[in-house]
Amino acid sequence: MDVLSNMKKWLIALAGVLLTVTLAGCGNQTVATTSGGKVTESAYYSSLKGTSSGKQVLQQMILNKVLEKQYGDKVKKSQVNKQFNQYKAQYGSSFKSVLSQSGMTEAGLKTEVRSNLLLKQAVKDNVKVTDAQLQKQFKSYEPEVTVAHILVSKKSTANTVIDKLKDTKKSDLTSEFTTLAKKYSTDTATKNKGGKLSAFDSTDTSLDSTFKKAAFKLNTNEYTATPVKTQYGYHVILMLKNPGKGTIKEHKAELTKQIIDNDMNDSTILHNVVAKVLKKGDVSIKDKDMKNILADYLSSSSSTSTTSSSSSK
Nearest partner of 241 among 150, 139, 144, 142, judged by Cα: 144
SS3 246: coil
Q: Please, are residues 43 and 29 in contact by the beta-carbon 8 Å criterion? A: no
Strand order in the sheet with 228-230: 146-152, 233-241, 228-230
Strands 228-230 and 37-40: unpaired
Report the alpha-carbon distance of residue 215 to residue 148 in Å, rounded.
10
pTM, 2 dp: 0.71
Partnered with residue 233 across adjacent β-strands are 230
Partnered with residue 230 across adjacent β-strands are 233
In this model, does residue 87 exceed pLDDT 90?
A: no
CA 49 vs. chain centroid, Å, equals 31
Nearest partner of 212 among 149, 137, 260, judged by Cα: 149
The confidence score (pLDDT) of residue 1 equals 42
Average pLDDT, the chain: 87
Nearest partner of 307 among 258, 260, 261, judged by Cα: 260
Give the length of the chain.
313
Query: Percentage of the chain with pLDDT > 70?
Result: 87
Report the alpha-carbon distance of residue 190 to residue 150 in Å, rounded.
9
Partnered with residue 236 across adjacent β-strands are 150
Pick the more confident residue, 235 or 59: 235
Least confident of 42-46, 113-117, 119-123, 291-295: 42-46
Convert the pLDDT of each residue in 11-61 to its tens digit: 444 444 444 444 445 567 898 999 999 999 888 888 888 888 778 878 888
Convert the pLDDT of each residue in 209-226 to its tens digit: 999 999 999 999 999 999
Q: How far is CA 101 from CA 2, 5, 153, 247, in A?
A: 12, 9, 37, 46
In this model, does residue 198 exceed pLDDT 90?
A: yes
CA 224 vs. chain centroid, Å, equals 31
In this model, does residue 304 exceed pLDDT 80?
A: no
Report the alpha-carbon distance of residue 176 to residue 153 in Å, rounded.
20
244-263 mean pLDDT = 94
Q: How far is CA 99 from CA 2, 7, 102, 183, 280, in A?
A: 11, 10, 5, 39, 35
Report the alpha-carbon distance of residue 56 to residue 92 in Å, rounded.
32
Name, of 28-32, 46-50, 179-183, 299-303, the range with top average pLDDT.
Answer: 179-183
| pLDDT band, residue 307 (cuts 50/70/90) | low
- Quickly list H helices, 72-203: 77-91, 95-101, 106-126, 131-139, 155-166, 173-184
168-185 mean pLDDT = 96
Report the alpha-carbon distance of residue 30 to residue 23 in Å, rounded.
10
123-136 mean pLDDT = 95
Q: Please, are residues 255 and 119 in contact by the beta-carbon 8 Å criterion? A: no
293-297 mean pLDDT = 90
- Structural domains of the chain, ranges and CATH numbers in brackets: 1-126 (no CATH), 128-138+249-313 (no CATH), 146-241 (3.10.50.40)
Convert the pLDDT of each residue in 266-285 to its tens digit: 999 999 999 999 999 999 99
153-168 mean pLDDT = 97
